[in-house]
Amino acid sequence: MIAVLGLIVGVVAGLLVRPVVPTVVEPYLPIAVVAALDAVFGGLRAMLDGIFDDKVFVVSFLSNVVVAALIVFLGDKLGVGAQLSTGVVVVLGIRIFSNAAAIRRHVFRA
């Protein structure tokens, strides 16, 4: 419950406070958000599976974000940023879908 509240508070704060994102970080924010989403879905699935571990969740969340941003950053430096970020989004999207399918089976039993 507290976790859901945290998510809601974060969204509301982002909408209300309008924090200024540094220009350097800006291109990596969308990828980082998608990676974090992937981590959150993975965590939810683990929770439903009964194997949730907060340390694992924190590490996977942070490493997902960092690695995704790093890949995009590297792609930008190599000149294939657009393609690499597409690839990252595709991979994360697939993972999110499979996690969502597992969660669905848990929740709806179907």
- In the list 40, 71, 88, 92, the residue contacting another protein (rule: CB under 8 A) is 40
Residue count, binding to another protein (CB under 8 A): 53
Is the Cβ–Cβ distance between 96 and 37 less than 8 Å?
A: yes
CA distances from 100 to 10, 27, 38, 74, 106 (A): 22, 27, 10, 29, 10
- In the list 42, 57, 88, 96, the residue contacting another protein (rule: CB under 8 A) is 57
Handedness of CA 55, 37, 89, 67 (dihedral sign): negative
Cβ neighbors of 80 (< 8 A, separation 6 or more) are none
- Tell me whether residue 11 or residue 90 sits nearer to another protein (CB atom): 11
- Residue 13 identity: A
- Tell me whether residue 78 or residue 90 sits nearer to another protein (CB atom): 78
Min CB(108)–another protein separation in Å? 8
Chain residues that interact with another protein, rule: CB under 8 A? 1-15, 18-19, 21, 26-27, 29-30, 32-33, 36-37, 39-40, 43, 46-54, 57-58, 61, 76, 79, 81-82, 85, 101-103, 105-107, 109
